[in-house]
Structure 1
Amino acid sequence: MKRKILFVINPISGVKTKYNFPLKIDKYLDKSKFDSECVFTEYRGHGSQIAAEAIRNGVDILVAVGGDGTINEVASEVEGTNKLMGIIPFGSGNGLARSLGIPIRAIQAIKRINKLNISKIDVGTFNGRKFFNMAGIGFDAQISARFAENVKRGLISYAKITLSEVFNYRSQYYRLTIDGKEYEHQAFMISIANSSQYGNNAHISPLASLNDGMMDICIVKPFPLYKFPALLVRMFRKNTHKSNYLEIIQGSKIIITRENAAVIHLDGDPFDMGNTLNIGINPHSLNILT
């Protein structure tokens, strides 16, 4: 029997147009294996609504066509079910797709779906919300909030916002409990890494694994501003774990307390949350095509 597959397309993610994407599906998807349909999202959160309805209607495979935020919306409904999740990377960074080895070019990514190779990955939880690639507190959350407000997408826009904010942002004090052990840190930011990278091959936790049942808590300590370029270079060289300004602690149950409520990010999308943050993991709970 053919599998029913739905492509959930975010038209504003990344910088490439997606309105001709259904033509690529018609040409490159294996019609002997799939009955396909495409639908475009119209607003933030629409991907979750589309995915939930599709699951109720018996769709077998849901494919997010967009970036990590689009993946989050669709995968949040697929996780914990017997349905399959696919990715066609069209975002600004495509962190999860890159970590899974999914081709960045759309045609190759479609052909990969035809093979039906299935992996199981861990899913993070953050005060009841799910994340699949990366969550963050502090500076990277501030950047995500600014980027979400920006009309222009892509790596260049992200880099410009980062450079404009790095000179003004101040480190914050955090108390952490990781699997029962307590820590106190003044931190520039704290990234909760399920995969190794933010996107664009910028690796904050080079040894992180998507299926080890653990999160990597990456604590970036205060650093002199002149060290910022060197830290960026370390990300692209995949050796941030050797920096004196980064401490990585693995854990599965994390509580972070901070002095003030502020924005956090989940897979690049900003959310306002309070002082206490409860982070956990659902091991091997998402079936994903890789």
Structure 2
Amino acid sequence: MSSQPQAQDLAAETDPVSRRAAVVINPTKKTDVDIRALVDEACSDEGWAAPLWLETQVDDPGQGMARQALEEGVDVVIAAGGDGTVRCVAAELSGTDTPLGLLPLGTGNLLARNLDVPVDDPAGAIRTALTGTERRIDVVHVKVDEAVDSDIFLVMAGLGYDAVMMGDTNTALKDRVGWLAYVDAGIRNLPGKPVRTMISIDGGTPIQRRLRSVMGGNCGKIVGGLEVFPGARIDDGLLDIMTMAPKGGLGWLNVVAGLLRRGKGRGTAVEYFQCRSAEIWADVPQDFEMDGDHLGTASRISMRVDPQALRIRMPYGKKDPAILTNPEP
């Protein structure tokens, strides 16, 4: 009589527990394929349980859904949307043992591009989220003006010109031509006056500049393969700061030259700093963005790196050594 319970106990010990993914999806992102069918099929093929589907809302772009996924005890949380969805989900997963998967459905898809996650192959991105290699990356905490709570970014944040460009991008044009719409906005907003700005690096004595833009970067590349923060690695525990200060009629040409020289050489049209924390003050409120999302205006921002705080899935294979400190899989 005792053999049957023992056999059941042995089966319970040897049968693998089905893994489960949660998908936090932005329903406003339209695709040419059935994303739900692709995810369901991939989970079934890999022997995973049916995924938990959680849609973002206007008043909750992902944080609450990510918290619910953690409460459900899922094995991976997949952010299916643009960079804003990724950032909101990552804010909740940071500091936990639950990894983040990326299913890019936006225009910029900045983090996915830096980590070689397929941006034009949803099925490939889903496979990566379920079975890809896992790394730990840095998260940058940001406080804006007198806010008590901090937010995070994974790729970059900016005060000034870059944020104006993000906020003034034509939505209809972006739907037609993708990231090239940012170029249009950038050209239209080239005219403008620099603002007196103070920057303190790692708590040091503030330096003063007259700037059009100051940006903090966690990794280097943006859309079009442009490397804005050369040598910025997403897992090195360091924050990269870049300033842009065009002066005179050839000001923006000097900025372009500074970018091409990676900030080396004479002149202050483009300057780079590396640190673990930074504080930035502008004389007057400036447009502010994080990971490509325009978030209003700010006069003061503080940034602090939380080293390797986020577990994330990415494809197997050698990575760009400008992105990860260890490029091997």
Using the size of structure 1 for normalisation, the TM-score is: 0.87
Q: CA deviation at 1:201?
A: 1.6
User: Which one has a larger percent strand, Structure 1 or Structure 2?
Assistant: 1
Q: Would you say 1:24 and 2:38 are equivalent positions?
A: yes
- Which blocks of at least 5 consecutive residues in structure 2 are unaligned? 1-16, 144-149, 315-329
Q: CA deviation at 1:228?
A: 4.2
The superposition leaves residues 105-143 of structure 1 with CA deviations (integer Å, 9 ceiling, x where unpaired) of 212212222324111111011101111111001101112
* Residue aligned with 2:188, SS: helix
Aligned residue number for residue 279 of structure 1: 303
Which protein shows a greater Rg?
A: 2
- After TM superposition, give the deviation of residue 284 of structure 1 in Å: 0.7
Partner AA of 2:245 in structure 1:
K
TM-score w.r.t. the length of structure 2 is 0.78
Q: Aligned-pair distance for 1:196?
A: 0.4
- Displacement, 1:253? 1.6
Residue 162 of structure 1 aligns to a residue in which SS?
A: helix
Q: Following superposition of structure 1 onto structure 2, how do residues 209-228 of structure 1 map, counting pairs within 5 Å?
A: 209-223=233-247, 228=252
RMSD: 2.5
What SS does the corresponding residue of 2:246 show, helix, strand or coil?
A: coil
AA paired with 2:54? V
Corresponding residue to 1:173 among 196, 200, 205:
196
Counterpart contact for 1:206–1:241, Cα < 8 Å: no
Offset at residue 223 of structure 1 (A): 4.4
Give 1:72's aligned residue. Answer: 87
CA contact (8 A) 2:246 2:252 kept: no
Q: Is the 8 A contact 2:159 2:298 kept in 1?
A: no
| Aligned counterparts of 1:37 and 1:152: Cα–Cα separation in 2 | 34
Aligned residue among 145, 152, 166 for 1:144 = 166
Q: 1:224 deviation in Å?
A: 5.2
Q: Distance in 1 between matches of 2:195 and 2:111?
A: 28
| 1:171 CA displacement | 1.6
Please give the secondary structure, in 2, of the residue aligned with 1:197. coil
Specify the alignment match of 2:284 in structure 1. Answer: 260
Match of 2:4 in 1: none
Paired residues in the alignment total: 284
Of stretches 257-266 and 247-256 in structure 1, the one that deviates more from structure 2 is 257-266
Q: CA deviation at 1:234?
A: 8.2
Name stretches of at least 5 consecutive residues in structure 1 with no aligned partner.
Answer: none
CA distance in 1, matches of 2:281, 2:48: 49
